[in-house]
Amino acid sequence: MALTDLEGRIVSAIGTVGPSVASVSTLRPARRRGIGPFSMPAEATAVVIDRGGFLLTNQHVVDGATRLDVHLSDGRDLPGEVVGGDAVTDIALVRVDARDLAAARLGDSEGLRVGQIVLAIGNALGLPGGPTVSMGVVSALGRPLPGSDFVFEGLVQTDAAINPGNSGGPLADLSGEVVGINTAMVPFAQGVGFAIPIHAAQRIANELRERGRIVRPWIGVKVTDLTEGLARQHGLEPDSGLLVAEVVPRSPSHRAGLRAGDVLDRVGPFGVRSVRQLLESLSKYPVGTDVEIGFRRRGFALAASVPLQESPPASSA
């Protein structure tokens, strides 16, 4: 592809997705010693996904906000209402009282490839004059967010510049289709940003629109990957399961007899070797059903029937 052809595709993609990008202004209550309570402003981004007034952004953008204003690309400034949010995936659905919005075309994040060119668009640093565009590639797929309690592991890693204010904005491909929702940059790294795949964001948005919240099955364990050191300590092979670091008191797993130190390796017929696999396997069952959990304790293979409960806010498994 000639350089001029690539340039043309980039400009065309920005023209396609740009009208769907909105800036978001929030106010949060804060308190400072010697000053007392005051409101802290912040800037972020959202992307229109429905002509009827629905936008996607990050949960951390709207969390605790007492005021939310949405500034559309056509110049309208409208108050935003949070329909619902999900701390696990960092997705929130916002609604404005408007019709005939420029809705983004949502792409296929399942088909993303490492090395593919992507564009990050958003209200970087809250600078005036419209959204900022940066270009990079898909650096990796299925990433966790390092140095965080964020439990969703299926993130798209990109080297497209993502700065404060980009949160909630679209990650687009060269056809102008949204393939991710930008969620974070890592302050101690250079050229490393993350986005939530659009297939996951869209699924969460649909459920938030229907229920106003996410109903996610939960068994009440905190787990960690079985590293080489932990595997040697427990006489197991590395990556052979998930080490239970804690069993939540009075949770389904606690009532079923699971203990800290057990190694989970199966949910029903599904083998689990990562937190992502555990969450995906649990999500195949509705809340209220009993699921057989396979685990190892002191070298013995055991199983327990665990009743699935609705997950408390921001819990993992």
DSSP SS3 for 187: coil
Q: What percent of the chain has pLDDT over 70?
A: 92
Give the pLDDT score at 212.
86
Q: Which of 20, 60, 134, 253 is catalytic?
A: 60
pLDDT digit string, tens, across residues 88-110: 889 999 999 998 899 999 999 98
Please give the model's pTM, rounded to 2 decimal places: 0.78
Q: Which residue, chain included where needed, has tokens 């439990």?
A: 151
DSSP SS3 for 32: strand
DSSP secondary structure letter of residue 109:
G
Spatial separation of the C-alpha atoms in residues 295 and 103, rounded to whole Å: 46
**127 alpha-carbon distance from chain centroid:** 25
Catalytic (active site) residue 60: yes
Residue range 109-211, CATH number: 2.40.10.10
Q: Within the chain, which residue ranges are assigned CATH 2.30.42.10?
A: 217-310
Token output for 171:
């990650």
Give the pLDDT score at 26.
94
Beta partners for 54? 50, 95
Give the pLDDT score at 191.
76
Question: Which has the closest alpha carbon to 269: 317, 244, 299, 303?
Answer: 303
In the chain, which residues have pLDDT < 50? 149
Give the pLDDT score at 149.
46
Token output for 152:
């969703």
Q: Which pairing describes strands 54-57 and 81-86: parallel, antiparallel, or unpaired?
A: unpaired
Give the pLDDT score at 189.
65
Token output for 164:
């404060």
Give the pLDDT score at 267.
94
Spatial separation of the C-alpha atoms in residues 152 and 171, rounded to whole Å: 18
Q: Which of 90, 159, 173, 262 is catalytic?
A: 90
Q: What is the sign of the dihedral through the CA atoms of 270, 275, 280 and 281?
A: positive
Give the pLDDT score at 230.
74
Give the pLDDT score at 314.
55
Q: How many CA atoms lie within 13 A of 309 on its CB side?
A: 18
SS3 content of the chain, % helix, strand, coil (to 5): 20, 40, 40
Q: Which long-range contacts (CB under 8 A, 24 or more apart) does 10-13 make?
A: 10/119, 10/135, 10/174, 12/176, 13/119, 13/172, 13/173, 13/174, 13/175, 13/176
Spatial separation of the C-alpha atoms in residues 136 and 147, rounded to whole Å: 23
Answer whether CATH 2.30.42.10 is correct for domain 217-310: yes
Give the pLDDT score at 223.
87
Q: Within the chain, which residue ranges are assigned CATH 2.40.10.10?
A: 109-211
